[in-house]
């Protein structure tokens, strides 16, 4: 008997964006494009974009009344929020908003919809995705008016993190960020409306749910602290090692460079947030002493603050590196803003003090003229392609040279009774020559001053 395989239907989404005067057309279009990629990473189909120019994003429903009706016509909703949702506005305010909307309708951009004369003929999207962080009550109002589920940019990012987390630590961190995102929105279940009051001893369902979330958050915090203590120990054992970390915007090519530099099989994907865990591998061909390379989670515009906080420990790897390789997708027209976002996040986690090199990656997709412009604009940057073995070899040489410059030559004496420590010496230094006398094995070594000092203490300890 044949078993029919039915694929689950692909959820459809319509993107909604408001362009405020401070945001120019290029940045606005790039932001929508990125949101579209995020939504596709979630596995949804984007059916179109509805955008509106307004002076500000606030207001009960994000969009103006007319645009909201258009949106509702596409999603199959009523276009009406309902009586209890938005506070009554003064007549003057209403007139002002209507005028504002007329003005904005004259200049709106909506590339997907312009080619779609009959809006109602579009397949009905089940999701409305807003390219801004909206308040729980704005989300509720939009859900009521559109009959669709509403997610904002943060919600999409949290959901992607939720799906991509693999390690126990990443899973716990994401669950924590997700609960923090969900808690204030609990009231706005997709069924809509208030939950029934009067549960238990004067506690509503909602309060009960919120209490459960608080308890779970406390539990998660304790579990994470345990894991982080273990990680701290492991990290401090690697303290003296030569460490580089790949950091930067999501999809810039960090994992591709990690693969190329270390010969490891880390995941490379044309997806946003493919990597959520930090992996550490040794540089290949091996340097002496060995150099460890870390691949890290990518950054994104408007990265929710809770996620930045929860990934601080994942990024602690990066903080402890002696050198940050700051990767940027130079073929992206908005690379400058990616650069700025990444710099801000690094600053927020305190990594801006670590020495860094700017890597302008995907140069194979950049014209000769644009390359010259990049060189002029970022004279200290390394232009490269993760796909070019020559470029990767040159990058490896740059990394090795960086550490060579920091290393010193010194002498260590390994007493005959302590030959067991020989591998420790070899792991942390390059042994240049060896000699023997009555005190033990006399080694001329080259390594980081900190590593040599630690080895000397270990060798001297009885
Ligand atoms: N043409 C070209 N494509 C590249 C280059 N480097 C990476 N890519 C592609 O860019 C996409 C993203 O690469 P990843 O290495 O996964 O990017 P990442 O920075 O690790 O991304 P996240 O883990 O999502 O933060 C993949 O499709 C890669 O094949 C490059 O130098 N040239
Ligand atoms: Mg990656």
Q: Is 253 left (phi over 0), alpha (psi -120 to 50) or beta?
A: left
Gap from CA of 297 to ligand 2 centroid (Å): 7
- Single out the residue of 251, 23, 26 nearest to residue 132, CA to CA: 23
Gap from CA of 252 to ligand 2 centroid (Å): 8
Smallest-distance ligand from the CA of 259: 1
Evaluate: CB of 325 within 6 angstroms of ligand 1: no
DSSP state of 7: P
Cα separation of 324 and 318, whole Å?
Answer: 7
DSSP state of 34: H
Q: What is the tens place of the pLDDT at every residue in 242-272? A: 999 999 998 999 999 999 999 887 777 777 7
Q: How far apart are the first and last CA of the chain?
A: 74
Q: Which residue has 């429903």 as its token pair?
A: 61
- Single out the residue of 461, 415, 419, 462 nearest to residue 442, CA to CA: 415
State which of 248, 253, 394 you would mutate to test the pocket of ligand 1, scoring each by most atoms of that ligand within 8 A of its C-beta. 253
* 139: pLDDT strictly greater than 80: yes
Q: What is the tens place of the pLDDT at every residue in 20-78? A: 998 889 889 989 999 999 999 888 999 999 999 988 877 888 888 888 999 999 998 88
Smallest-distance ligand from the CA of 331: 1
Evaluate: CB of 273 within 6 angstroms of ligand 1: yes
- pTM here is 0.78
Evaluate: CB of 441 within 6 angstroms of ligand 1: no
- Cis before residue 342, ω within 30 degrees of 0? no
- Nearest 5°: the CA angle 181, 187, 192 is 120
Gap from CA of 256 to ligand 1 centroid (Å): 6
Q: What is the tens place of the pLDDT at every residue in 84-121? A: 444 445 555 555 555 555 544 443 444 444 444 455 66
- Nearest 5°: the CA angle 41, 44, 46 is 105
- Single out the residue of 277, 276, 253 nearest to residue 330, CA to CA: 253
Evaluate: CB of 268 within 6 angstroms of ligand 1: yes
């Amino acid at each position: 008997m044949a078993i029919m395989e039915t694929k689950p239907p692909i959820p459809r989404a319509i993107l909604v964006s408001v362009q405020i005067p401070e945001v120019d057309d290029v940045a606005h279009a790039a932001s929508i494009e990125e949101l579209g990629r995020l939504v596709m990473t979630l596995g949804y189909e984007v059916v179109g974009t509805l955008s509106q120019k307004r002076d500000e994003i606030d207001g009960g429903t994000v969009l103006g009344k007319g645009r909201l009706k258009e949106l509702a016509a596409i999603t199959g909703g009523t276009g009406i929020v309902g009586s209890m949702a938005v506070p009554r506005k003064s007549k003057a305010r209403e007139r002002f908003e209507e005028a504002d909307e007329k003005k904005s309708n004259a200049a709106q951009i909506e590339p997907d919809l312009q080619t779609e004369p009959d809006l109602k003929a579009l397949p009905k999207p089940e999701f409305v995705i807003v390219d801004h962080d909206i308040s729980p009550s704005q989300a509720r109002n939009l859900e009521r008016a559109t009959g669709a589920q509403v997610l904002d940019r943060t919600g999409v990012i949290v959901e992607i993190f939720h799906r991509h987390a693999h390690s126990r630590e990443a899973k716990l961190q994401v669950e924590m960020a997700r609960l923090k995102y969900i808690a204030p929105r609990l009231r706005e279940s997709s069924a809509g409306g208030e939950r029934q009051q009067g549960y238990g001893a004067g506690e509503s369902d909602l309060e009960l749910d919120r209490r459960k979330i608080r308890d779970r958050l406390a539990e998660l915090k304790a579990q994470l602290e345990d894991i982080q203590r273990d990680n701290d120990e492991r990290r401090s054992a690697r303290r003296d090692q030569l460490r580089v970390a790949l950091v930067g915007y999501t999809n810039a090519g960090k994992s591709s460079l990690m693969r190329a530099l270390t010969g490891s099989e880390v995941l490379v994907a044309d997806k946003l947030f493919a990597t959520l865990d930090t992996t550490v591998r040794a540089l290949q061909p091996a340097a002496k002493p060995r150099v460890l390379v870390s691949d890290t989670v990518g950054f994104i515009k408007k990265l929710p603050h809770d996620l930045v906080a929860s990934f601080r420990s994942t990024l602690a790897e990066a903080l402890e590196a002696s050198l940050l390789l700051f990767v940027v997708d130079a073929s992206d027209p908005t690379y400058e803003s990616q650069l700025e976002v990444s710099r801000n996040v690094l600053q927020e986690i305190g990594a801006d003090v670590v020495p860094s090199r700017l890597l302008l990656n995907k140069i194979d997709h950049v014209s000769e003229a644009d390359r010259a412009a990049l060189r002029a604009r970022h004279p200290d940057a390394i232009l490269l392609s993760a796909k070019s073995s020559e470029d990767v070899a040159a990058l490896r040489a740059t990394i090795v040279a960086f550490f060579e410059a920091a290393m010193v030559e010194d002498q260590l004496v390994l007493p005959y009774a302590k030959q067991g420590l020989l591998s420790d010496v070899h792991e942390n230094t390059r042994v240049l020559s060896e000699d023997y006398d009555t005190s033990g094995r006399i080694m001329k070594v080259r390594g980081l001053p900190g590593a040599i000092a630690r080895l000397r203490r270990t060798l001297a300890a009885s």
